[in-house]
Amino acid sequence: MAKTCAVGKKIIKDGKEIMVCDESRAQLLPILEQIQDEQGYISDNDMQKVADRLGIHPVEVYSVVTFYSFLKTEKKGECVISVSNCLSNEMAGSEKIVKEFEKKLNIKAGETTNDKKFTLERISCIGMCDHAPAILVDGKLIGDVRTEDVEKIINGQGSIESKINKDNEGKKRQGPVIFSEIEPYAGLKKALELGKDAVVKTLKDSNLRGRGGAGFPTGLKWELTAPEAEDKKYVICNADEGEPGTFKDKILLAEYCRLLFEGMVIGAFAVGAEEGYVYLRGEYKSFLPVLKKELVKMKKAGALGSGIMGEKGFNFDVTIKLGAGAYVCGEETALIESLEGYRGEPRNRPPYPVNTGFNGCPTIVNNVETFVTVTHIIAKGTDWFKSFGTKKSSGSKLLSISGDCKNPGVYEVPFGISIKEILKMVKAEDTQAVQVGGASGICLPQNRFNRKIAFEDISTGGSIIIFNKKRNMLDAAENFLKFFEEESCGQCTPCREGIPVLLEGLGKIRNGECTEDYMSNLLSLCETMELASKCGLGQTAPKAFVSILENFKKEYNLVKY
């Protein structure tokens, strides 16, 4: 059932006095974000006022405020400087940047200057791993930061610019699907010609699978949502790419957002939805003007709004909602909880979003890359799409490649490409390991570089982190575990309690205190977490840890007998 506000304002209906909400609970997060933007924090008094406004208890507001890292209960400095400490940034020297800021500001990370002008903090991945070290300054993404830039940033000279599109300057992006040529609205026009059922059938025949890593068949998801129902239906785009080392959506949002929105409109046509939402990660707030401008253009072109492309009764609009700093909201049910105005905690499944999603109604949730791919498939056909990739993994994949290589960046490759080919493509030398799938993925040693990116071999959301032979892989394991410890919602015991134990075990391994029995217990705990955790965060948190221990046991003499 959909969740609703308990109380609000009194009205008279059928001669009886009842309480109703004048605003939806779903407005809670946007209201809190507005307060945060205006005054830099959310006070107890603010929480009481918001609770009264929405007709909910103040403790519910407090619960939401304290869940999201971008919402603060205490005022920070006028300027907040956040240095990314995800693994790719750490490898590029982010800690040197932190130390330089500490030196210039005369504070430690996590503190605010006495004059209240600056707050310095560490933050996880901000989608700039190809331009590491990277920082956020009051929401502005800045990459390729060097120690000599720190004073300029503090002085606000404006000489340090965001490098979001630096890797696209003077060259054309290339790729078989995403970056191939396509006429504006060709996909949408073709969808209207085909009809609803044929659109779903085309996607099923194309063998398109979700590009977030799990790989659920897109056509099947839409088919399960499509049947006629009394409930409203929704289309949601998951633009909350928070996986460390992943930054492909940044490019799609900045340069290809029309294809994203067009894919959402096609989805709305196929399943019969009139409302759509883009859940945009808070770190990408600077993209809002570009996205909103494109939505306006689409309405003027008749590709959004009422009577889309002259199709009577086909009405669909898109609203952009900002996340507030919670990695777990990349999980689709946690994302829906967040959209509804709650803590972004994953739901029990079943039921699934296709029948019980946003506001308790049938909902399709796909990520940015998937919707962009849909637009191309509908416009160009199933045979064209299946001509790329492998028999079981049709089409292409966007890879976010960072770490120890000469040419980090976003690459579109056909499924079936090997790790060895990827390393050659980005000019990586003296490589000892490759992390595929970010913190929740697996670490491959040199003798497994013949493995391929494909659903039948290695499935990935897109993150590829490269390590040369100078790197200590235990540092990588520690970085990933600390990330998960910070991002765990704490809802279930295996994840909440298990990750700190793994970190403790890693310390024992470093100190040469790990016995064979203790190692066996750690691996048994990892298996328990994978089986018993409620959502993908806890289920995948041990994967990198386990693969690093298994593949580099000899190199680090991990077990003391």
In the numeric block, which tokens belong to residue 19?
Answer: 């309480």
pLDDT at 12 over 50: no
CATH class of 79-159: alpha beta
The pTM score is: 0.92
Amino acid at 167: D
For residues 137, 141, 145, 150, the Cα torsion angle rounded to the nearest 10 degrees is -10
3-state DSSP call for residue 289? Answer: helix
3-state SS record for 327-362: HHHHCHHHHHHHHCCCCCCCCCCCCCCCCCCHHHCC
Residue with tokens 């407005």: 27
Alpha helices, DSSP H only, in 473-556?
473-487, 493-510, 516-532, 536-540, 543-551, 553-556
- 283 pLDDT tier (thresholds 50, 70, 90): very high
Where is average pLDDT lowest: 15-24, 235-244, 265-274, 500-509? 15-24
Distances (CA, A) of 382 to 297, 367, 374, 511: 29, 20, 10, 56
Amino acid at 241: E
Average pLDDT over residues 43-62: 96
Q: Quick one: how many helices (H) and strands (E) in the chain?
A: 22, 15
Distances (CA, A) of 11 to 4, 23, 474: 17, 14, 62
Instruction: Concatenate the DSSP letters of all residues of 77-98 into one string.
Output: -SEEEEEE-SHHHHHTTHHHHH
Which pLDDT belongs to residue 15? 44
Q: Is-contact 269 196, C-beta < 8 A?
A: yes
Alpha helices, DSSP H only, in 393-492?
419-425, 473-487
- 490 pLDDT tier (thresholds 50, 70, 90): confident
CATH class of 400-467: alpha beta
> Rg of the chain over CA atoms, in angstroms?
24
We find that the CATH architecture of domain 472-561 is Up-down Bundle (1.20)
Distance between CA 88 and CA 119 in Å, rounded? 23
Taking the domain 186-386, which CATH number applies? 3.40.50.11540
Where in the chain are the domains?
79-159, 186-386, 400-467, 472-561
Distance between CA 259 and CA 118 in Å, rounded? 39
Phi, psi of 406 (to 5 degrees): -80, -30
Instruction: Concatenate the DSSP letters of all residues of 219-260 into one string.
Output: HHHHHHH-S--SS--EEEEEE---STT--HHHHHHHH-HHHH
- 162 pLDDT tier (thresholds 50, 70, 90): very low
Burial of 520 (0-12, 13-18, 19+ CB in 10 A): exposed
Q: Is-contact 153 81, C-beta < 8 A?
A: yes
Which pLDDT belongs to residue 555? 67
**H or E element: which one contains 468?**
strand 463-468
- Tens digits of per-residue pLDDT, 181-237? 999 999 999 999 999 999 999 999 999 999 987 899 999 999 999 887 777 999 999
Bridge partner residues of 277 (DSSP): 236, 319
Q: Is-contact 368 253, C-beta < 8 A?
A: yes
Distance between CA 163 and CA 184 in Å, rounded? 27
Bridge partner residues of 276 (DSSP): 235, 318
- Tens digits of per-residue pLDDT, 309-343? 999 999 999 999 999 999 999 999 999 999 999 99
Distance between CA 247 and CA 128 in Å, rounded? 6
- Tens digits of per-residue pLDDT, 404-463? 999 999 999 999 999 999 999 999 999 999 999 999 999 999 999 999 999 999 999 999
In the numeric block, which tokens belong to residue 484?
Answer: 């998960």
Which pLDDT belongs to residue 170? 45
Which pLDDT belongs to residue 213? 73
Q: Is-contact 358 231, C-beta < 8 A?
A: no
Distance between CA 146 and CA 223 in Å, rounded? 50
Instruction: Give which of 412, 312, 399, 314 is closest to 130, Cα–Cα.
Output: 399
pLDDT at 492 over 60: yes
Cα angle 74-77-78, degrees, rounded to a multiple of 5: 120
Distance between CA 382 and CA 388 in Å, rounded? 11
State CA 53 to chain mean position distance: 31
Distance between CA 356 and CA 363 in Å, rounded? 7
Q: Is-contact 19 9, C-beta < 8 A?
A: yes
Give the Cβ contact number of residue 8 at 10 Å: 18
- 510 pLDDT tier (thresholds 50, 70, 90): confident
Distance between CA 396 and CA 411 in Å, rounded? 10
3-state DSSP call for residue 45? Answer: helix
Strands 275-280 and 234-239: parallel
pLDDT at 158 over 60: no
